[in-house]
Structure 1
Amino acid sequence: MDELAQLGAELMTQVKLGSPLEVSMKAAGWKARVAEWIRTNFPDTGLSAEWASLPVIEIGLPTATPSTIDRGLAEMKVSQHLSWLARLPSSLRIRNLTIPETVNAESVEVGRREVKLNVTSRAIVDPSRIEELRNISSPSFDLAKLIRLCEELNLAFATQSYLSMAMLTRAIVDHVPPIFGKSTFSEVANNYGGATLKRELKNLDTTARNIADLHLHSQIKKKEVLPTITQVDSSNSLDLLLAEVIVTLTE
C-alpha cells in the first residue's frame, strides 16, 4: 500500500508540471493498479467500485494548455484519492467488525453467550422518518411494531445482515395496508396515489416481495449465492411508503 501511495505522490508532481497527456496516462495507470490490488486483496467488498467512482484526474485535452485552475482542481482530485487510500485500513476494520460471521466468531472466542457490536453506518430508514412515526398519536393504529421493524432494518444494514433486510422489508410492506384502508399491500400499490407513487409501491409489492420470498422459502442447495446490498436495498421506495403513512395518519 505504501508503494501505491508513493505512486499517487508522483502523480501529484506530474499534475503540477506535466502535460495533459502525461497526466491522463499516469492517472489511469495508477487507478488501474490500485483497483487490481484491491480486487486481489479484498474481493467481494465493493471497495474497487468505490475507488473507481472517485473523480477522473485530468488537466485538460491532450493538446490543450492547462490553466492554473485546471492544475489546482486536478491536485484536489489526487488529494481526494490519497485520502481515500489513507482511510482504507480504517474502513476495512469497520467492515470486519460488522460482518455477521466476524461478530459471531469473536463471541465464540471469548466463551460467552454475548454478541458485541461496534457499528457506525448510514441508515436505510432515515432516523427523521422514525422520529416522525414516533411522534404520531393515532387512535386507530399502534405504530410500535412498525417503528421497531424500521429500527431493526437499520441494524440489519449496519451489520451487513442482507437476508434479514429482505425479510424485514417484506414485513413492513405486509404490516401497513390497514393504515390505507386495505387488507393487502397489492391493493395499496394498485389503488393509492399517482403514477409515480404507484410505480414505487409496486416495486415494493413485486421486486422486494419476490426477493424476500426467494430467501424465505428456498430450501438448502448444493451451492448458495448470498445476496448483496444491491439486491435487497429498497430504501427509496420504502421512504416514499413511510412518508405516505405519516401523511395519512396526520391528515
Structure 2
Amino acid sequence: MANSLDGAVSVAMKGLDELASLGADLKTKIKLAEPLEVSMAAAGWKARVAEWIRDQFPDSGLSAEWAALPLIEIGLPLSKPTDFSRGMAEIKADQHLSWLASLPSRVALRQAAVPDRINQQSLEIGRREVKLALTSRAIVDPARIQELKTVSSTQFDLSKLIRLCEELNLAFATESYLAMAMLTRAIIDHVPPIFGMKNFSEVANNYAGSSTLKRELKNLETTSRNIADLHLHSQIRRKEVLPTITQVDASNSLDLLLCEIIVRMSASI
C-alpha cells in the first residue's frame, strides 16, 4: 500500500521541478531587477504554482496554504530598493521554495489522512482502542485556553467552554474537519449569556465594540454557522466533497471572541 501511494504521489509531482526552477529565476530578479518587475514575476509565479496545485490536488487546501505564504516584493514600483528589502525578499522566496520542496510529503500525509491511519493501525494490531501520537499547531492558542482557566466567576462556569476549545484543537490535530465545524458552532451557541444576550445573533448584531470586532463576530454568526449547519443537517447524496481546513478554520474570529470573553469576565470580578 505504501509503495502504491508513493508512486501516485510521484506521478502527481510531474512539473514540480519546472516550477521550482521558475522560483530560482525569481531570486535572480530579486537581486538585480526593479520593484515592478520583481512584483510581476512573483505574482505570475505564485499564480502559476497555485493553478498547478489546484489541477493536481483539488480540494486538498494546499493552494490556500501556498497563497498564504508571505508576499514577495522589494518595494513600491517607483521606489529605490535597499539591500535590506532585497534580502528580505530573497528570504521569502526561499520560504516558497522550501514549501514546494516539502510538497510531496504534504500530499502523502493528506492522501493517508490521520483518521484513516489511526483506524488502519488499530485494525492491524487487533485493538478496539485508537492510539494517538500527534503534534500539531493549535487552532485555539494554548495560552488563550490558559487565560480562560485563570478567570474566576461566580456567575458563569467556563469549564465547558474550555473543554470545547481543547476538543477543537484535538479535532484539528486529527484532521477531523467536520467535527471542527460543529465544535465552532457549539462554542458560539454556548457563550451568549456572558454578553447578557439570549443567542449569538444578538451578540453579533448588538454588542458594543470596535468595527473589527463586530465584523469578526458576524463572521462567526454567518459564515461559521452556515458551514456547520451545512454539514450537520445535509442528508446523504450520490457524491460528497469533504471539507478542508480552509473551509472550517475560524481561528482568527474565534480568538477575538475569546479575548472579549476574558476582558468582560475579568472586568466583572
* TM-score grouping bracket, smaller chain normalisation: 0.7 to 0.9
What is the TM-score when the length of structure 1 is the normalising length? 0.74
Alignment equivalent of 1:161, drawn from 150, 166, 176: 176
Question: 1:127/1:18 Cα in 2 relative to 1: closer, same or farther (>3 Å)?
Answer: closer
Structure 1 97/246 Cα, relative in aligned 2: closer, same or farther at 3 Å? Answer: farther
User: Contact 2:59–2:244 at 8 Å: present in 1 too?
Assistant: no
Q: How many residues align?
A: 248
User: Matches of 1:135 and 1:17 in 2, distance apart?
Assistant: 50
Alignment pair present for 1:180 and 2:195: yes
CA separation in 2, counterparts of 1:25 and 1:117? 45
- Indicate the residue corresponding to 1:198 in structure 2: 214
Aligned-pair identity (%): 66
Q: Secondary structure at the residue paired with 1:141?
A: coil
RMSD: 4.0
Which gives a bigger RCO, structure 1 or 2 (Cα 8 Å, sep 6+)? 2
Correspondent of 2:233 among 211, 217, 224:
217
CA separation of 1:35/1:106 partners in 2, compared to 1, >3 Å: closer, same or farther?
A: farther
1:217-245 Cα offsets, whole Å, 9 max, x none, are 22212222222223222222222221121
Indicate which of 78, 98, 114 corresponds to 1:83: 98
**Partner of residue 208, structure 1:** 224
Structure 2 residue runs of 5 or longer lacking an equivalent are 1-12
**Residue 113 of structure 1: SS of its match in structure 2?**
coil
Q: Displacement, 1:147?
A: 0.2
Structure 2 residue 257 is the aligned partner of structure 1 residue 245: no
Amino acid in structure 2 at the alignment position of 1:187: E
Pick closer, same or farther for the CA change 1:24–1:111 going to 2, 3 Å: same
Amino acid of the residue matched to residue 171 of structure 1? A
Corresponding residue number in structure 2 for 1:228: 244
> Structure 1: any 5+ residue segments left out of the alignment?
none
Per-residue CA deviation, residues 132-190 of structure 1 (Å, 9 max, x unaligned), is: 11011211222111100001111112222111111111111111122222232233333
Following the alignment from structure 2 to structure 1, what is the Cα–Cα distance between the partners of residues 206 and 128? 48
Deviations 1:35-58 (A, max 9, x none): 676556544323344445555589
Q: Is the 8 A contact 2:181 2:228 kept in 1?
A: yes
Matches of 1:38 and 1:157, distance apart in 2: 22
Larger Cα-atom Rg = 1
